Structure 1
Amino acid sequence: MFVRESVMLGGKPLTLETGRLAKQADASVLVTYGETQVLVTLCHGEPRPGIDFFPLTCDFVEKTYSAGKIPGGFFKREARQRDAEIITCRLMDRPVRPLFPDGFKKETQLIALVISYDKENRGDVLAMTGASAALHISELPWAGPIIGIRVGRIDGEFIANPTLKQVEESDMEIIVACSRDAIVMVEGGGDEFSEKDLADALEFAHDSAQPVLELIEELRAVVGKPKMDFQAPALDDGFKKKVSALLKGKMLDTSLIKEKHQRYDAYDGLKKHMLESMKSDLGEDTYKEHEGLIKAEFGNVKYDVVRGYVLGEKKRIDGREGNQIRPISVDPGVLARTHGSALFQRGETQGLATTTLGTSADEQKMDALEGQSWKRFYLHYNFPPFCVGETRFLRGPGRREIGHGMLAERALARVMPSKEDFPYTVRVVSETLESNGSSSMAAVCGGCVSLMDAGVPIKTPIAGVAMGLISDGDRYMILSDILGDEDHLGDMDFKVCGSAKGITAIQMDIKIKGLSRDIMMEALEQARDGRLHILDKMLDAQAPTARITDFGHYITPEAPVWTPTLRCDHPVALET
């Protein structure tokens, strides 16, 4: 059945259409906003034998013909996804994945194609909305819908889905994924806006999203398929009690081991003992029949024990209070031949950041649908396997590395000097050498110090902190500077970057419904306190040398002689 319906959003009609294009897909939706059109398709298959994860793939491709362009290069066709496209793949994935039921393992793929582009309205939030609509009208079990909406602000007024020109004039640009009763995901940044400004923007986004959510519900009422019955495989209650008895007391003692690898080794030993005991008790055949569920029950017990301890004792598994930051050390200038460098350590997370200066010839050419442009500042984040004690092949950067690098770049880009003030191209690289949570925030902090070590006159120092939340509905605890385990077992993960004045970048994923504005504001204020503490530690470290090294001049003979000074609006003075 062909259906096309529209609703007003940000002063323009947003149209959803289904039943005309890509009819052999399980579901397809064409989203039109202005003259930008994004076709989103959904297909699913049977689970792969033996997998213990949900194989969801989200792909976003901007077709160059959509803007009347022919691809560059020798082959003259779209090839590897650009970083901006990969970021949109993550924006599609992050809000929809948690809304599938636990235990769902069918192969699922969402593909969003930008097939018409008006150079005013970007396709990323349309892809998020189209993915939601396709899932909602399909037979897959999914607790949606959600929509994606971009929020800008000009002269204090919020704008829903601003045009590219309006984004350039805005002091804030955030992308928000909203459900009927909650904020699901946030990604964006701005010019040092306050925590209250962010909360107001999220409230504006949620209110603006409601008509579109109603439209998706109406679309499902007309063309939606009956949802498939899905019951996740469950372990027999008797087996659960046996597992619980084997782990009683031991799981908490293991979880309270402070050092990461010692704790993980103890988890492995405890799990091995539990599995051997269950195998001996049940017999070979019965054990093999339920082996996967028995292994999964270990994780379920860990989840309940750790969360119960945190909420009951108001303590964290490493002994910290909720608002306590792990010990920090900052060492600028650790590498002899780089233009700038810094080693940033926070707990068991360690990042080595470097800054390299170049000429205009080193600017990155950006060939986007809007046209060509040149990028003077870029940040690359690396997460090699040794940082978590693992082995794997070294490949190109994955989606996670690109996403974390873009977050750190967004945080620092707002305070970079203009070309007139500083005629250099700047590349920052963050190598994660050790990781136990918050490695992307180590990239922000280390990257900032390395910039200062290279003599780049940033407007003000920037720090970042990763926050978490654990809640059972009645009780909650907000966690500053989260560990990897706290990220995995928590209900909210958000990273806040900024200066002493305000926020320059934020990334937030919320796994629970109905997070109140009061708790959101409390979390943001706690994040601000953590950020200021980290800034002070960065500035209390051995003062970075305001310099451009002799080695820097080798690559910039044609650039004017630069006399570096550190300009800093932060109240803590830097010795130069």
Structure 2
Amino acid sequence: TYAAGKIPGGFFKREGRPTEKEILTARLTDRPIRPLFPTGLRNEIQIISIVLSSDGEYDPDVLSVIGASAALHISDIPFQGPVGAVKMGYINGELVLNPTYHQLEESIFTLVVAGTRNGIIMIETEAREVSEEIYLSALESGYKSLLPIIELQEELRVKCGKQKRKVELFELNSQLMESIKKDVLHRVQEINLMTSKEERIEAMEILCKQLSEKYSEEYSPEEIKQALHEVQKEEVRKYTIHNKRRVDGREFGELRPISCKVGVLPRTHGSALFTRGQTQSLAVTTLGTPADEQMIEALEGEMFKKFMVHYNFPPFSVGEIKPLRGPGRREIGHGALAEKALRAVMPSEEEFPYTVRVVSDILESNGSSSMATVCGGSLSLMDAGVPVKASVAGVALGLFKESSEEILLMDIAGLEDHYGDMDFKIAGTRNGITAVQLDLKIDGISVDLISQALKMAREARYQILDIMETVIDKPRGTISPYAPRITALQLPPEKIALIIGPGGRMIRKLINETGAKFDIEEDGQVHISADNE
């Protein structure tokens, strides 16, 4: 916090664990960098970004991406960069490069794009129902704007770069690979076509155990496991590319079966169960008073948050046993993405003075659980009677890229996500995009391919919205009887003293007599809340 000339709050007056913003910035930095290390590099690499000085006007998150790339590029660490990154806004019909915090409040989207000379490698976006056409123009402009940043890093390397060290890269034993293919290729092909994730995992574990027993004297269990999974990866990709169908039998542009339910929990303020294939989100909406707002201390100043989405990924959702601790980086990232997707349709404080929290518990997972959270969250908000502007749906697209062939996959399942080249999440309403997140395992894709993906995602979004709206197509007319009741008043600021009274006697009397809570702002806005009317 010294970067902004501030002392941390709290008892200890020093920084503790990373804040949510810092975790999200670390993820933003990691995502475009990670695909650019050589395959087989197993050395531990740590990059730490520290904000040394902040003007309070610009978010330093993009600088973290550029700084990490530059540090790697001039170091002796093998790295297939550099990476450039910029932030784009759109205000009054014009694109704005690297907007300030104040400008972003007026912008209809916040777009961060990172790329290499080979194409775009990462995207992060929050938007207010933006059309695909405007969004693509921003991507094209952003990509052109980041190329000079790449040139600067290349010049920096010429001036002070170290010679890249020779690192021993891990390589799978080719003889072991051939032996496994000879022994169990047909069985692996059969396992890949199993529709149940649990059956497929169990079958692979049994097969791996059998191979370990056979080759125990020559290879380690870890070598055998990795070789087997490499064979599985080759076969999944080969089947999809050559047969023009997916291993679960779907066409490239086909969604998994979807079912939706609302009002599934009797005592909560709003709830929904969204299931797509073998991925299921139980989303619950809770309404609170203004006193439930989250206070956030950030470099740009203190702020309060009235809408929150929290994502939980319990280990049983993927058939595992793990200790339950606090949310990890992935859970924080997925919750933040869903929050961005839904924030565009939330009512203003004047329309709906409640603090709103949505929690998504993933009950089972086989790909795209963050987008299931968007869909389930949208349904639960409507079930809670929150006057949202529209339904929001999300879908994840994948990519198999071999030589010049590029195959886009709609609504990827876990196997396609694991062995594919792209995870492209797009959420929105019928009117436009509200959130985008792109991550790659290759060194970049073209704007043309992104354009095709956005068109596919729009078709998928409309199909999902059609299904969701058969269950609930508008917010309920009233909120749950278990939710608090809030009345909002606007008084002249000079009248506030009359409500509080000398020494606070009047406000204490009102609270004791009614049991209500009073939240009074300096501008004269008063919120009165109680458990019932």
TM over 0.5: yes
**2:451 maps to amino acid:** M
Identical aligned residues as a percent:
51
The answer to whether the 8 Å contact 2:35/2:443 transfers is no
User: By percentage of residues, which structure has more helix?
Assistant: 2
Mapping of 1:255-266 within 5 angstroms? Answer: 255-266=192-203
Q: Distance in 2 between matches of 1:403 and 1:510?
A: 16
1:182 to 2:138 alignment: no
Instruction: State which drifts further: 356-365 or 195-204.
Output: 195-204
- Give the match's secondary structure for 1:95: helix
**Shift in Å, 1:212:** 1.1
Q: Distance in 2 between matches of 1:260 and 1:388?
A: 9
Q: Distance in 2 between matches of 1:363 and 1:238?
A: 60
Match of 2:314 among 384, 391, 403: 384
The answer to whether the 8 Å contact 1:453/1:546 transfers is no
- Give the match's secondary structure for 1:412: helix
Instruction: Output the TM-score relative to the length of structure 2.
Output: 0.89
Q: Deviations over 1:214-239 (max 9, x none)?
A: 11001111111110113423344333
| Residues 214 and 423 (structure 1), Cα distance of their counterparts in 2 relative to 1, 3 Å cut | same
Q: Residue in 1 aligned with 2:504? A: none
**Shift in Å, 1:553:** 3.0
Q: Distance in 1 between matches of 2:382 and 2:170?
A: 54
Q: Distance in 2 between matches of 1:476 and 1:66?
A: 45
**1:548 maps to amino acid:** I
The answer to whether the 8 Å contact 2:386/2:476 transfers is no
Match of 2:140 among 203, 227, 243: 203
Structure 1 spans left out of the alignment, 5+ residues: 1-63, 563-576
Query: Cα RMSD between the aligned structures?
Result: 1.7
| Residues 412 and 514 (structure 1), Cα distance of their counterparts in 2 relative to 1, 3 Å cut | closer
The answer to whether the 8 Å contact 1:172/1:193 transfers is yes
The answer to whether the 8 Å contact 1:192/1:498 transfers is yes
Q: Distance in 1 between matches of 2:43 and 2:107?
A: 42
Q: Residue in 1 aligned with 2:16? A: 79
Runs of 4+ in 1 over 4 A off after TM superposition: 554-562
Count of residue pairs brought into register by the alignment: 492
1:551 to 2:488 alignment: no
Mapping of 1:234-383 within 5 angstroms? Answer: 234-279=171-216, 284=217, 286-288=218-220, 291-383=221-313
The answer to whether the 8 Å contact 1:235/1:294 transfers is no
Q: Distance in 1 between matches of 2:131 and 2:269?
A: 33
- Give the match's secondary structure for 1:230: coil
Q: Residue in 2 aligned with 1:407? A: 337
Q: Deviations over 1:489-545 (max 9, x none)?
A: 111111101000100001001233452333221111111111111111111125664
**2:335 maps to amino acid:** G
Q: Distance in 2 between matches of 1:191 and 1:309?
A: 39
Q: Deviations over 1:368-423 (max 9, x none)?
A: 11111111111111001111111100000000000000000011111100111111
Mapping of 1:154-193 within 5 angstroms? Answer: 154-193=91-130
Match of 2:70 among 116, 129, 133: 133
Point out which structure has higher relative CO (alpha carbons under 8 A, 6+ apart).
2
Instruction: Output the TM-score relative to the length of structure 1.
Output: 0.83
Structure 2 spans left out of the alignment, 5+ residues: 488-515, 518-526
Q: Residue in 1 aligned with 2:379? A: 449
Q: Residue in 2 aligned with 1:540? A: 470
Q: Distance in 2 between matches of 1:514 and 1:77?
A: 40
Q: Deviations over 1:278-320 (max 9, x none)?
A: 33xxxx2x334xx543332112111111001001111111111
Q: Residue in 2 aligned with 1:68? A: 5
**1:457 maps to amino acid:** P
**Shift in Å, 1:248:** 2.0
| Residues 542 and 371 (structure 1), Cα distance of their counterparts in 2 relative to 1, 3 Å cut | closer
Q: Residue in 1 aligned with 2:500? A: none
Q: Distance in 1 between matches of 2:415 and 2:368?
A: 11
Q: Distance in 2 between matches of 1:316 and 1:495?
A: 19
Q: Residue in 1 aligned with 2:521? A: none
The answer to whether the 8 Å contact 2:177/2:228 transfers is no
Q: Distance in 2 between matches of 1:373 and 1:528?
A: 34
| Residues 233 and 561 (structure 1), Cα distance of their counterparts in 2 relative to 1, 3 Å cut | closer
**Shift in Å, 1:561:** 9.4
- Give the match's secondary structure for 1:233: coil
The answer to whether the 8 Å contact 1:452/1:546 transfers is no
